[in-house]
Structure 1
Amino acid sequence: MRRPDTIEHMYLDFDGFFASVEQQIDSRLRGRPVGVIPYVGGTRAILIACSREAKARGVKNIMPVDEAKSICPDLILVPQKPEMYRRAHNALVAEIHAVIPIDTVKSIDELACRLGADDIADPYTLAQRIKRAIRYGIGASITCSMGFAANRHLAKIACAVGKPDGCTVWRPQDMPGPLIRIPLEDVPGVGRRMAQRLAIAGVETTEGLLRLAPKEARALWRNVSGERLWYALHGYAIEAPPSQRGMFGHMRVLPPEGRTLPAARDIARLLAVKAARRMRREGYTSSLLMLHASLKDGWWGRERVMRQVQDDAAVLQSLLLLWSELQTTAGKSRQIFRVGVTLGALTPAGERQLDLLDDDDDDRQRWERLGRAIDGANAKFGRTLVSVGPWDPPKGGNVGGKISFTRIPSAEDFA
């Protein structure tokens, strides 16, 4: 396995992305502590993101709004605008791509680049060129941090060291000194549960993790991921295997007025249709529908096996059957705070195997032809004009267009 003797990768992370985009769009928010919330009036919700000014006051992402306001009373709350963040992401990617080719867009606010010879020789000049392109091409409110290292994993860790608005270069000859100072829980790939498992094995620091043998790391992770992480942390040129699509799903936190069973059912229905649309666009069928909900005193989840389907009618039929189970469990007086719908057990549409005992092929094909016609009409006009059943999105929209950091919605997700 190759071990580079110089830096080869850059990792870039936008600082407080959602909040900084809000500040760039609205000059009244600049220089002030800003927190992004899921919906209008979400004073009892969780902060999706916060600005660097808010973080300097002790506010953190995924913090309850009431706690954040107790820490920072003048925190300005703004509801999320996923479509605006998507457009900002695309504009920023275009600006950066004009400076250096982008190897991988990792999420809505993170990307990675392979370095050319000139950039390897002078990474700080490259960083200045990118920051200048963002400042004058997009605006000064949106900043980014960058990390340079022998591989992408180390570059990602180095990037986090310099936040906000920093630039950190970890050359192979300097390692592992800077890495040893990183807390173990800040190493990507070491989650809370994994950290507990490592602690039981006597590994409580990043230095301790580095001292393991590759096979020991594999045994602790109970799969090849531990060994891959070991090689990445030791500076080897190791690339993550290509990811495969496993599911299509959407989740939504419900506003206070939408927490009744009928209102939550309507949202779940919209989420299911949105997921089915995405699945069709990417050419898959699904054999499993999962419905989950956060109730006042717990979590509820069920799944239903389907035939290999992709049309709205089949998905909605399964959803309504699951919803009847939820309604029986929850009762009429129970509140639902969050609802999610996921389509799993995916198969490429061209590889679908129909059951010879199920004489439903004609019916399925008829619904699929209707689905393609509906998708075509909605795509043509850029919004939902035709749907199977009612289509009444809640105030604030964003149903199916929410950004989860790991997924960047397309324009069609907001139709």
Structure 2
Amino acid sequence: MQKAQIRQWDDGSGLKWLYLDMNSFFASCEQQADPCLRGRPLIVVPVDSEYTCAIAASQEAKRLGIKTGTQVKIAKQICPDLKVVQARPDEYVRIHHRILEEVDHVIPVEKICSIDEVACRLMGPETVEAAARALGHRIQRRILSNIGECLTASIGLAPSRMLAKTAADMQKPLGMTVLRRDQLPGPLLDIDIGDFPGIGPATKARLFRAGISDPRQLWHLSPSRMRQLWGGIGGDQFWYALRGVDPPEIETERGSISHSHVLAVELRPVEAARAVARRLTAKCGSRLRRMGYKCGGLHLSIRGTQEGRAQAERLFMATADSFRMLEAADALWDVCVRTLNQTSIKKVSVTCMRLVPADTAPDLFGYSPAADEDPRHMRLLEAIDALNQRFGKDRISIGPKPKLHEFVGAKIAFNRVPETPEFWE
């Protein structure tokens, strides 16, 4: 009976994944929040500056050629009536969680791929194309009805997660694309090879140099040739994913925590920028303690307004003591400023390296990482963390508080959604 059911559900499509990709997510959130922005060209920016770049563009802006990465000054030249909105990461994360709830009402979320992309595994009768399409339409309708009419999603259905992500990008906005195993590579032959996940500008350029310029040529490469072109196992994984077979997941351990900030004009003098470096270091310390880690080193990088970048790092005994970390940050700052030899700083980045769990037990030989923490410091820092989480970020700060963007350090990276407590650190 079980085998008969499996054959009944096998329609030749091989579908295993439903991939949801929100369309122009940050811009759509802003249009949903403010009806006056709907139907208008809009970009979302990290800071209020003519020289920063868009981190999102509405569908209307994209039709004019304005996209993510376009400088504000250039975007305004293209469209003088362009609306420019400063990013509100906490609002985007809040809506992200609402989207997860709506998806979960239809099908469990297998993996959160980014703040605006999730993957769901299809099982049993869900793998039949008609049933999978019905699930996708239900998700689209629920988001539009229960969260907002501006929040459109495109759906991709395919045998591998990589192909499902590719499919989700093929029809926007509010599209649905099915890539069946029994029709491959047909539907893929009309897209640009740079549209495949995992083929960024550097890989695309490498493929071009090897004479690979379209999906048909890519499809006919052998696994060994792909491994050679990718420079490792990533080539083998891409070969299988392209044919609808998911490569095994590779689990990685967290090795670092980092925060960076592009400085507004008034924060670019060296002393003002130094305060930003200290604030980012303190935020790293707060995040270490919340996540139950200690770090064994600090890396500082600064970029000048002119060409040039300086970086330095210092290793030390494992700690989550912000006062110890700030001492290291001050020393690294002096080194970087001397090396850069500029009076104006454009970007500051701080990274905590060599993370170890705070409760790391001794190994078989009795060794555990030596820690450098003053018990008085740790009690004070725990109290500061608790007060800031309860009453708001920076109610209590270590040293003078720089005039920073409200969400400094709570950056939404492509593959990482900030946790809610980060907005209060």
Give the TM-score normalised by structure 2.
0.89
Contact 2:96–2:116 (8 Å) recurs in 1: yes
Cα pair 1:294 1:339 within 8 Å, conserved: yes
Shift of 1:397: 0.8
Q: Which of 216-225 and 311-320 deviates more?
A: 216-225
Q: CA deviation at 1:151?
A: 1.1
2:19–2:155 Cα contact (<8 Å) kept: yes
Offset of residue 34 of structure 1: 0.5
Q: Residue 91 of structure 2 aligns to which amino acid in structure 1?
A: M
| Separation in 1, partners of 2:97, 2:370 | 42
Letter matched to residue 386 of structure 1:
I
Residues 1:307 and 2:314 aligned together: no
User: Partner of 1:327 in structure 2?
Assistant: 337
Partner of 1:265: 274
Match 1:85 to one of 87, 92, 96: 92
Mapped contact 1:198–1:220 kept (Cα < 8 A): yes
Q: Which amino acid in 2 is paired with 1:253?
A: V
How far the C-alpha of 1:47 sits from its partner, in A, is: 0.8
For 2:379 and 2:224, how far apart are their aligned partners in 1? 52
Structure 1 position 144 matched with structure 2 position 134 = no
SS state at 2:287 partner: helix
The DSSP-based 3-state class of the residue aligned with 1:326 is helix
2-side partners of 1:110 and 1:243: how far apart? 20
User: For the structure 1 residues 243 and 336, does the alpha-carbon distance in structure 2 shift closer, same or farther, using more than 3 Å as the test?
Assistant: same
Please tell me whether the aligned partners of residues 318 and 370 of structure 2 are also in contact (alpha carbons under 8 angstroms): no
- The whole-number CA distance in structure 2 between the counterparts of 1:185 and 1:87 is 31
Whether 2:83 is the aligned partner of 1:76: answer: yes
Aligned length: 407
Q: In structure 2, what is the equivalent of residue 338 of structure 1? A: 347
Q: Which segment drifts farther, 285-294 or 142-151?
A: 285-294
Distance 1:116 1:366, change over 3 A: same
In angstroms, what is the RMSD of aligned CA positions? 2.3
Paired residue for 1:367, among 352, 356, 377?
377
Within the alignment, does 1:397 sit opposite 2:409 as a pair? no
Distance 1:345 1:390 in 2: 28
**Local SS of the residue matching 1:146:** strand
Distance 1:137 1:220 in 2: 46
Long gaps (5+) in structure 1: none
The 2-side partners of 1:210 and 1:367 are apart by 59
| Alignment-derived partner of residue 59 in structure 1 | 66
Q: Is 1:115 aligned with 2:122?
A: yes
C-alpha deviation, 1:411, in angstroms: 1.9
Confirm whether residue 381 of structure 1 aligns to residue 376 of structure 2. no
Could you report, residue by residue, the CA deviation over 1:35-86 in whole angstroms, capped at 9, with x for unpaired residues?
Answer: 111123x122111111001001111101111211122221100111111111
Contact 1:291 1:303 in 2 (8 A): yes
1:6 aligns with 2:14: yes
Q: Deviations over 1:331-385 (max 9, x none)?
A: 4x6211111111122222233789x9xx985744443344333323333434343
For the residues of structure 2 that align with 1:139 and 1:219, how far apart are their CA atoms?
46
Q: TM-score, normalised by structure 1?
A: 0.91
Percent identical residues: 38
Structure 1, 161-170 or 272-281: larger mean CA deviation: 272-281
Residues 107 and 120, structure 2, Cα contact 8 Å, conserved in 1: yes
Measure, in 2, the Cα distance between the counterparts of 1:154 and 1:411: 31
Is the contact made by 1:382 and 1:412 (CA closer than 8 Å) also made in structure 2? no
Counterpart code for 1:367: H
Return closer, same or farther for 1:128/1:362 CA change in 2, 3 Å cut-off: closer
Where does 1:7-406 land on structure 2 (aligned, <5 Å)?
7-40=15-48, 42-121=49-128, 122-297=131-306, 298-331=308-341, 334-351=343-360, 363-394=373-404, 396-406=405-415
Q: Structure 2 counterpart of 1:336, which letter? A: I
Q: 1:222 to 1:391 in 2, by over 3 A?
A: same
